Amino acid sequence: MQHGDKIDVSGSDVSKELTIPKLFYEKALQYGENRVAMREKEFGIWRPITWGKYLENVKHIALGLISLGLEEGDKVSMIGDNRPEGLWAEIATLCARGIGVWLFQDCLMDEVRYIVDHSDTKFLFGEGQEEVDKAISIFHECPKLKKIIWDDPKGMRHYDEDYLISLKEVMELGKALEKEKPDLFEETIDKGHGDEVALLFYTSGTTSLPKGALLSHHNMLTMGKHLMAVDPCRDTDDYVSYLPFAWIGEQMMSISCGLQVGYTLNFPEEPGTAQENIREIGPHVMFAPPRLYEQMTRTVQVKYLDATWIKRKFYELSNKIGYHVANLKFGKQSIPWYWKFLEWLAEISVQKKLKDHLGLSRVRNAYTGGAAMGPDHFRFFHAMGVNLKQIYGQTEVAGISVVHRDGDIKFDTVGHPIRGTEIMITEDGEIITKSPSVFLGYYKNPEATEKALRDGWLYSDDKGFIDEDGHLVVFDRTKDVFTLRNGKPFSPQYLETRLKFSPYIRDSWVIGDKRDYVTAVLCIDYSVVGKWADEKKITYTSYPELSQKSEVYELVEEQIRQANKDLPEEAKVSKFANLYKELDPDDEELTRTRKLRRGFVEKRYEDIVNALYGDTDMVHIDTTIKYEDGRQSNIKTDLQIRNVKE
């Protein structure tokens, strides 16, 4: 890894005059009532919405916001599930020359207060009663907040605060303004410029308070254009929008790419039915963080465990064929005709049904990013015949800067930069990026902006290197890289993802920086391990009790031995403990995108860490768990500390 190692893919063809509203207006006029822009499943029926109706709704919301006093540069926040109304509110905000701010649907009160106050939000769109309750509770602590706009009337009958207004009323205000000034909507859109701020995105905040990244229209559109140049989509394609709009990855697919291509967005009935709805739609393109693919892998593994002997044998044979062919493709080797024939047999007998069950039957390109994906999961999907690609990016570069190319996929890399992007490795091994998609800076945080943006380069704080084929290899976050006892660097994420390949392990936390050996704290998958325990006639009443059963420890130990295979001695897990609960964003142990907050969990579970590096085989836990609804419960239990036998 040398200073000056770099990859450069030049070129940018998105006009600085182009904005998201201008592109939206152009597409809506082009397709009108002749094509479906989006669908939402309601009461078991997919409800289509044409581009013409999409435009009409956005226009009336935008003009309604202007009637309420929205001025250029005002912030408008949105919180709620993925549904058409949320996207209308976002696009309407941009059309009215405001700046959009999304919050995660499951944000707690303190998180909502911080983002709404810090962003200087003037109007807040909340889906229904739950979101309105959160907004009302923080309203008087956010001086810039003027109106809370709600959409779903369920439970809203007795709310009479004067700062509450329904989306329907906002649209009526917009219709009235349209009659008064029929050209105002188009005139407002025409004023926009690509360099203006479009969205204010709050980062996940693994070590500190979230930072607000300012992204321009040009940032978003160049990134989408250049991704589509790598893997073109069609306007007849379907995409399922089910990941939070507060995550840059969803904005990347629904807005940056979706508006440029014009494919149809499909919104699930409820977050809990997303997987079922994905299967019904059969999207052509898919983007998800590793945790979604990990869950899919677990689904297949559990089906295998439950299958009859003959079905298991068919699956094992199909897997063997799939892995062999995938390895040939990874190695860029030609595939003999008889292996192609076996691949076809595996596809029609097993793989096709599995892909259909997961909703992947029509997927041409599936992407994963936002966190590290383990090689085991990556190989698993390629063995199934899914064209899964790693991407590398961050909020500060509008989503993506590097992606795998067809026929040039290496499971331990993230591929090559998209067009217009230059990647370089500093002397310290840090990945830095230069591209038209690099953000404008952090809102109200000049110190952080100065640290991240230097001499036209975005400093990622990620360690990596460029391999002999010109692929970027992302090692880990700089602050997370371990130094093993032999002095060599090691990425804990690599081992954590290997551990999570087991269907019995939901989350893993690996410890070992500058210590004599590596240890792990594991969270079992309660439903999978519970089913296993039922079959073994093991009695239990709760997660804490099941996690501490000696039989479960033996089961988990076997999974660790599998993950330890092929690792250098210094990197193998030597001791472990099963945590008495799942890691949870509400307990601040994970970010909203389910990244581990290492510093926080190390402090919170200091007693467990000390026990793992002490002589004891037990640690007593007496703690309080807080639930989202405010309830608390006290947990007293003894946690076992186990050595991993070779």
Q: Per-domain residue ranges for the chain?
A: 20-192+240-279, 288-477, 481-643
Interstrand relation of 238-240 and 99-103 (parallel, antiparallel or unpaired): unpaired
- Confidence at residue 493, expressed as pLDDT on a 0 to 100 scale: 84
More confident residue, 35 or 13: 35
Cβ contacts of 26 within 8 Å, gap of 6 or more: none
pTM for the whole thing?
0.86
More confident residue, 486 or 370: 486
The number of residues in the chain equals: 646
Structural class in CATH, domain 481-643: alpha beta
> In Å, how far are 37, 48, 87, 401, 616 from 40, measured between CA atoms?
11, 7, 12, 31, 55
Residue that has been written with the tokens 């930072």 in this structure: 211
Check: CB of residue 583 under 8 Å from CB of residue 589.
yes
- Residues pairing with 624 in the sheet: 634
Check: CB of residue 402 under 8 Å from CB of residue 421.
yes
CA distance 32 to 48: 13
Count Cβ neighbours within 10 Å for each residue of 222-256 and write b for 16 or more, e otherwise: bbbbbbbebbebeeebbbbbbbbbbbbbbbbbbbb
What is the DSSP secondary structure assignment for residue 37, as one 8-state letter?
A: E
- Confidence at residue 593, expressed as pLDDT on a 0 to 100 scale: 73
Quickly state the pLDDT bin for 1 (edges 50, 70, 90). Answer: very low
pLDDT tens digit sequence for 164-191? 999 999 999 999 999 999 999 999 999 9
How large is the angle between the packed helices 375-383 and 492-499, nearest 10 degrees? 50
pLDDT tens digit sequence for 71-82? 999 999 999 999
The domains spanning 20-192+240-279 and 481-643 adopt the same CATH topology? no
Write the burial class of residue 345 (CB in 10 Å: 0-12 exposed, 13-18 middle, 19+ buried): middle
Read off the tokens for 295: 């869950």
pLDDT tens digit sequence for 199-244? 999 986 555 678 999 999 999 999 999 999 999 999 999 999 998 9
Question: Backbone phi, then psi, for 418, in 5-degree steps?
Answer: -75, 165
> In Å, how far are 87, 205, 211, 589 from 208, measured between CA atoms?
29, 5, 9, 13
Check: CB of residue 383 under 8 Å from CB of residue 347.
no
At residue 294, the 3 state secondary structure works out as helix
Looking at domain 20-192+240-279, its CATH architecture is 3-Layer(aba) Sandwich (3.40)
Cβ contacts of 3 within 8 Å, gap of 6 or more: 425, 426, 427
What is the DSSP secondary structure assignment for residue 336, as one 8-state letter?
A: P
Average pLDDT for the chain: 90
- Confidence at residue 10, expressed as pLDDT on a 0 to 100 scale: 41
Render 112-181 in DSSP notation, one character per residue.
Answer: HHHHHHHTTEEEEEE-SHHHHHHHHHHGGG-TT--EEEE---TT-TT---TTEEEHHHHHHHHHHHHHH-
- Confidence at residue 613, expressed as pLDDT on a 0 to 100 scale: 93
What is the DSSP secondary structure assignment for residue 38, as one 8-state letter?
A: E
Please name the residue ranges forming H helices in 456-604: 492-499, 526-535, 543-547, 550-564, 598-604
Quickly state the pLDDT bin for 388 (edges 50, 70, 90). Answer: very high
* Nearest alpha carbon to residue 443 among 88, 116, 55, 182: 116
- Confidence at residue 623, expressed as pLDDT on a 0 to 100 scale: 73
pLDDT tens digit sequence for 93-126? 999 999 999 998 888 888 899 999 999 999 999 9
Q: Does 153 score more than 90 pLDDT?
A: no
Opening angle at CA 171, ends 168 and 173, nearest 5: 115
CA distance 544 to 322: 38
- On whether the 288-477 domain is CATH 3.30.1600.10, my answer is no
